[in-house]
Structure 1
Amino acid sequence: MDPVDANPPRDSIGAAADAHAAAPLLNCLLREAGEPAEPSAGVHRLRGSGRLLRVRGSRRPTHPEVRTEGVWHALTHTDLVKLVAEELRALTGLANSELPAEMLDSREAVAALLAARAQAPVPEDAYRRSEQSLITGHPYHPAPKARGGGPVTAWLPYAPEAYAHFPLVLLGVREDAVVEEGDTAALDALGSAPPGYRLLPAHPWQLDLVGGELAEAFADGRLLRLGRTAGAAWPTAAIRTVYLSEAVREGGHEGAREAPSTSEPVTGRAPASDLFLKFSLDVRITNDIRRLWRHDLLRLRRTDRAVTEAFAGSPGAWLSDRGYRTAAFAFEELAVLVRDGLGGHAPDGTTPLLAAALTESAEAFPDNPSAHAADPEAWWEAYLRAVVPPALAAFHAHGVVLEAHLQNTVIVCDASGTPVQAVYRDAEGVKLLPDVTRAAGWERLVYCLFVNNLLEIAGAMTEHHPTVDPWPAVRRELERHGDVPEVADLLDSPTLPGKTNLLLRWTGADGAAARYRPLPNPFRRPPGPGGRPPA
């Protein structure tokens, strides 16, 4: 049953939620705490206890079973969470009560999203559908859909997976308290502020989360409520980043899920037709509390200038984080970042799609061009030509380490669905040399671009086209970049770095402190005459 177009019964939603939530959790457990025992039978040995775990499938494992006293026992999602906690205690010697709760919260969030999605009209715009399709989410995170443990009613109206759209709240900040840097002029086009104040848009959920902290500022006049925008924004896959587009109007033709109405008057002008805004949210989503942290904002302009310069003349495109505006008395809580829209970055007649959507199920994103490609090998080669050269050139020629993972990559396709360009985004995740060493930067780039991005796209594509071998094309693409010294070693390396999100969260490590576990390199160059050329 298609959860997008139908209204599935509750037990069907529950089973689907179990499967969506179990797949990434199993991926983490098998990558970080398991080892193959009988690969052909899907059997793995868990390193903490030595127990055997059996699953079906590989890219998105299902139907977990544990062997006890010679008998295989099926695990519910709750059973699986308990098993993971036991294994990690045995493996690390540490206890953690917070992460299992997040795992359960993630599953409940998926169930709520599936139920809401089943009743929401599907947006007409393909790009929006791609951004709002991530029902499974990060395929190697133990709780990719957790929403901070709050009630569903608090976050569901703002959930991209439920096809949400909503107006932004407009605040006025007294001019002597405004802090800003870069080009923030687009914010002033959203409405009007009274004399002595500057306009500051806010995400409604953001205000719900920090409203109590702002009571004094509202009381003494440093902060005013000015109403809300006349038009609506819609949330991208990042949840706290919204797209302001002429395509969405409250009561407009798309009719997707709207946030509940508020008592605030509609006083703002319609949003600009092509603009992204990124907000702070005091909610843990995947590894981090999603605030716009002061230290990141203070280096934003330097980072964005470096990336913009790196993309000058590049075959790829960069969505510039132009600047930010906030209030001095709530620097992180009220910060808003202004980002380029897609206009001018995607050629006329093309369709941008979030790359992460290409790894979701056909039910979640039926528009997937790789699934429908008449020549899948040519499609894959075009994808590689679009995403690899800009990222490698930025690193080698400019010392810019893009966070080129699936959620930061927008792939632009022509009318036939063939990739023609990659658009990258999010200066917050970019690292610059020599702020990090070249070796550390390269490891991060390999993880983001090759493990998180290419391996996942290749895995999804070969599910649709089982006869395609994607790895010779990756080798050929890399061999075109022999000027990058690290490429030869990458082609000959037996392993790739796989990020250990489960252990990172279990041990309470900082979300930015990436730790890696070696994974088999599927595009390793074969030895012999077809392998590495002699020096």
Structure 2
Amino acid sequence: MNRVDLIPQPAAADAVADAYAAAPLLNCLLREAAEPVPGPDGAPGPGARRVHRLPSGRLLRVRGERRPVEPETRVEGDWTRIGHPELVKLVAEELTRHTGLSNHELPAEMTDSRDAVAALLAARARAVPPEDPYLLSEQSLLTGHPYHPAPKARGGGPVAAWLPYAPEAYARFPLTLLAVREDLVVEEGDTSALDALGEAPPGYRLLPAHPWQLDLVDLTDAFADGRLVHLGETPSEVFPTAAIRTLYAPGPDLFLKFSLDVRITNDIRRLWRHDLLKLRRTDAAASRALAGGPAGWLSDRGYRTAAFAFEELAVLVRDGFHGRLRPGTTPLLAAALVEGFPGSPLAAAPDPGAWWEAYLDAVVPPALAAFADHGVVLEAHLQNALVAVDADGMPVQALFRDAEGVKLLGDVERAAGWERLVYCLVVNHLWEVATALAERHPGLDPWPALRRELSRHDLPEATALLTAPTLPGKTNLLLRWTGADGADARYLPLPNPLAG
């Protein structure tokens, strides 16, 4: 078992943690509640600083664009550097003024997120990264969602409770094996892979559990009266993916997704009953939409749980890579290409223009065809898209996952479905890869290639996208500040780089 431990935090690591935590928070603040101020301080060029006016009238200056750093405020004519605690205080004051609402929970999450990064940095200093490039990509996200105010918050619990299960700390661990009384089993779809993980006693069925989730829920009565039996642990270990509660078991080539009663980004990450009950329908639609094409779909083939703890103990069985991945290729998490990790083909591409065109050819056509031909809106954002690369690091195939996030046009209006696809695919995903690629390879203009790719498709919405003045940007900071439901999606208009 490779359970990472805490080690002392040097001052340098604290400064790095501040920078990691400040970048996405600044991205949110500048996008959702600030206006750029033209002038010499905002001039383009290496090392340039950008100035923004906040709702209170205060000026905020940062260095860099994609991942802003070194925030400074204007005080009595001078620029004063602010640390992470001061930034959290400033954001809270500005959002209170901007919305007329107060919020005591979110600032605590911002601090929790920063402290989690510090703990992850310390843990990484002693942990051994996985050798497998795919696993390394899943476990590389120290920044996480680049436009979320607290992407690394872990529910405010003690570090020792969550660190052994943190993908960013290169964790791996065995599953806990439970047995649930047979007459209390609830399942749908194909869950047979679960029965191969161990052996249940007569009259019981096997039910694997995430050990962190078992620490979060009270099942004392169920164990006492025999509804549940503790069987021990799996002999082999699983690897947490970027989603944290979704684990990959390399031996059986299987993904398992669990409930986790912790708020991570916008949601409490429980497998909600209403989502599970519609899962087979959305998964079947996505499977049909991508069947026979170049892209792959990692099917959520079924779930199993206990009737008395339907959501708390639910486990979802997801396809692995066998039979879905082109021979000789390596899948990589799209979010990791943006974040950066050792061996990333985005950074090493000898011809970044050709690499980008290959990337677009792999990712864009299947997502647009699913929408146009099947009415399926894939949640094709950075964490739900994998890109398989060949031995030379060139993208050759896209793999999509997570039926829980799939929308069907029969259930949502076409305009709303298209807006969601544009946000997930273009704004959250392709825009981030494009700007990361351009940053790594100065001189590359990624937008003409994306315009060409979109223009190839006989889809009116794609054609209109080429001249639309704006694109939808999700407002994660305002969503959390105003206490909106985690599944809500509210957008603000962003200048469309495709129309330039």
With structure 2 as the length reference, what TM-score do the two structures score?
A: 0.96
Letter in 1 for 2:124: R
Match for residue 244 of structure 1 among 242, 249, 259: 249
Offset, 1:434: 1.6
Provide the C-alpha distance between the structure 1 equivalents of 2:439 and 2:464, rounded to a whole number of angstroms.
Answer: 29
Letter in 2 for 1:427: A
Provide the C-alpha distance between the structure 1 equivalents of 2:9 and 2:378, rounded to a whole number of angstroms.
Answer: 43
Q: Which aligned pairs between 1:58-457 and structure 2 lie closer than 5 A?
A: 58-210=65-217, 212=218, 214-246=219-251, 272=252, 274-361=253-340, 365-457=341-433
Does 2:488 align with 1:507? no
Partner of 1:31: 31
Offset, 1:301: 0.4
Partner of 1:519: 494
Q: Which moved more, 1:163-172 or 1:41-50?
A: 41-50
Provide the C-alpha distance between the structure 1 equivalents of 2:167 and 2:25, rounded to a whole number of angstroms.
Answer: 22
After superposition, the C-alpha distances for 1:51-76 in whole angstroms (9 at most, x for unaligned) are 11000000000000000111111010
Q: Is the 8 A contact 2:9 2:122 kept in 1?
A: no
- Identity across the alignment (%): 73
Q: Which aligned pairs between 1:459-478 and structure 2 lie closer than 5 A?
A: 459-478=435-454
Offset, 1:416: 0.3
Letter in 2 for 1:507: T
Provide the C-alpha distance between the structure 2 equivalents of 1:478 and 1:8, rounded to a whole number of angstroms.
Answer: 50
Residue segments in structure 2 that go unaligned for 5+ positions in a row? 1-6
Offset, 1:9: 6.6
Provide the C-alpha distance between the structure 2 equivalents of 1:139 and 1:389, rounded to a whole number of angstroms.
Answer: 25
Q: Equivalent residue of 2:342, what SS?
A: coil
Offset, 1:194: 0.6
- Aligned CA-pair RMSD: 1.2
Q: Equivalent residue of 2:328, what SS?
A: coil
Offset, 1:195: 0.7
Which 4+ runs in 1 deviate beyond 4 A? Answer: none
Offset, 1:47: 3.9
Q: Structure 1 residues 8 and 170 mapped into 2: Cα distance closer, same or farther (>3 Å)?
A: closer
Residue segments in structure 1 that go unaligned for 5+ positions in a row? 1-6, 247-271, 527-535
Offset, 1:46: 3.4
Provide the C-alpha distance between the structure 1 equivalents of 2:281 and 2:329, rounded to a whole number of angstroms.
Answer: 31
Q: Which moved more, 1:366-375 or 1:384-393?
A: 366-375
Q: Is the 8 A contact 1:144 1:285 kept in 2?
A: yes
Provide the C-alpha distance between the structure 1 equivalents of 2:57 and 2:492, rounded to a whole number of angstroms.
Answer: 19
Q: Equivalent residue of 1:345, what SS?
A: coil
Offset, 1:44: 3.3
Q: Is the 8 A contact 1:294 1:331 kept in 2?
A: yes
After superposition, the C-alpha distances for 1:285-315 in whole angstroms (9 at most, x for unaligned) are 0000000000000000011010101111222
Q: Equivalent residue of 1:492, what SS?
A: coil
After superposition, the C-alpha distances for 1:61-110 in whole angstroms (9 at most, x for unaligned) are 00000001111110100000000000000000000000000000000000
Q: Is the 8 A contact 2:9 2:118 kept in 1?
A: no
After superposition, the C-alpha distances for 1:212-247 in whole angstroms (9 at most, x for unaligned) are 2x111111111110111000001000000000013x
Q: Is the 8 A contact 1:43 1:52 kept in 2?
A: no
Letter in 1 for 2:415: A
After superposition, the C-alpha distances for 1:312-337 in whole angstroms (9 at most, x for unaligned) are 12221100000000000000000000
Does 2:462 align with 1:487? yes
Provide the C-alpha distance between the structure 2 equivalents of 1:165 and 1:31, rounded to a whole number of angstroms.
Answer: 36
Q: Is the 8 A contact 1:8 1:118 kept in 2?
A: no
Provide the C-alpha distance between the structure 2 equivalents of 1:319 and 1:488, rounded to a whole number of angstroms.
Answer: 29
With structure 1 as the length reference, what TM-score do the two structures score?
A: 0.90
Letter in 2 for 1:22: A
Aligned residues, how many? 488
Partner of 1:256: none
Provide the C-alpha distance between the structure 1 equivalents of 2:433 and 2:29, rounded to a whole number of angstroms.
Answer: 21
Offset, 1:8: 9.9
Does 2:21 align with 1:14? no
Letter in 1 for 2:407: K
Does 2:63 align with 1:56? yes
Q: Equivalent residue of 1:167, what SS?
A: strand
Q: Which moved more, 1:9-18 or 1:234-243?
A: 9-18
Provide the C-alpha distance between the structure 1 equivalents of 2:88 and 2:53, rounded to a whole number of angstroms.
Answer: 14
Offset, 1:484: 1.1
Q: Equivalent residue of 2:387, what SS?
A: strand
Offset, 1:123: 1.2
Letter in 2 for 1:53: L
Provide the C-alpha distance between the structure 2 equivalents of 1:469 and 1:445, rounded to a whole number of angstroms.
Answer: 23
